[in-house]
Amino acid sequence: MSAAGRGWIVGLLGVSLAAVLCLPVAAQTLYGSRAPKDSSYVRVFRAPGQGSGRALVLGSTRFEQPDPGGVTPYRPVSPDIYQIRSDGQAAEIIPRAQRYYTVALTRQGVRVYEDPAHEDPARSQLVLYNLGGLEQLSLSTEDGKTRVIGPLAPGEAETVSVNSVPVRLAVFAAGGLLESLGDPGLERGSSYSVFVFEQEGRSAVLWAEALLALD
């Protein structure tokens, strides 16, 4: 890898492009949000064909399930021990104060990820989730010369912070290029997620900016 490539990766947290989400007006970006100090923050991703569509309830917080292939904003949840059930699968989540979590409803079951908080207002953050069965999943520059995240095995996730500069990105797997993402337009202080999941027998990619809803 070139010195220029290494210098760019040292703070990146890139993106993937495949779908646009409609999110609540009340949602706000994570950095600098006025969130309760004693709360945990949880969001829900729903893969196509998963979840009954019924709301998930964690304590006093009710999550209306997103459309298939979509993700909710993070919402405050009281720290406690919760059981999440979906399509005959179950998982336990024990959220801690000031921590962020993603609950993924997938063909492989209910997966819970703790997401590192984004605390650098000068950089962008990116999280790559391998929610399908692909091997050696990675996020790289579009030309494949500079790897940003990965490689990841099925079920893994990884986070990185990057400089907010123009860059063309793409998702790769063991078989080669999976999807080109173009230039996502990284903004300082923002966090972005790349979800790779199964849809109708093929792999699909969703890009979403991480938001926080306090209502």
The pLDDT of residue 210 is above 80? yes
Output the pLDDT for position 17: 27
Q: Kind and range of the H or E element at 138?
A: strand 137-141
Instruction: List, for residues 109-159, the tens digit of each pLDDT value.
Output: 899 999 999 989 999 999 999 999 999 999 999 999 999 999 999 999 999
If you average pLDDT over residues 87-112, what whole number do you get? 92
Output the pLDDT for position 31: 57
Nearest to 210 by CA among 126, 112, 120, 132: 126
Output the pLDDT for position 4: 38
- Residue bearing tokens 């336990």: 92
Instruction: Please say whether the beta carbons of 131 and 105 come within 8 A.
Output: no
What's the whole-model pTM score?
0.83
- Please give the C-alpha separations between residue 149 and each of 30, 141, 145, 190, 201, in angstroms, as whole numbers: 21, 10, 12, 17, 25
Neighbour-count burial for 162-182, b at 16+ CB within 10 Å, e otherwise: bbbeebebbbbbeeeebbebe
**Lowest-confidence pick of 16-25, 50-59, 83-92, 192-201:** 16-25
The pLDDT of residue 10 is above 80? no
* Domain spans in the chain, listed from the N-terminal domain onward: 3-212
Report which DSSP code applies to 9: H
| CA pair distance 56, 162, nearest whole angstrom | 33
Report which DSSP code applies to 123: E
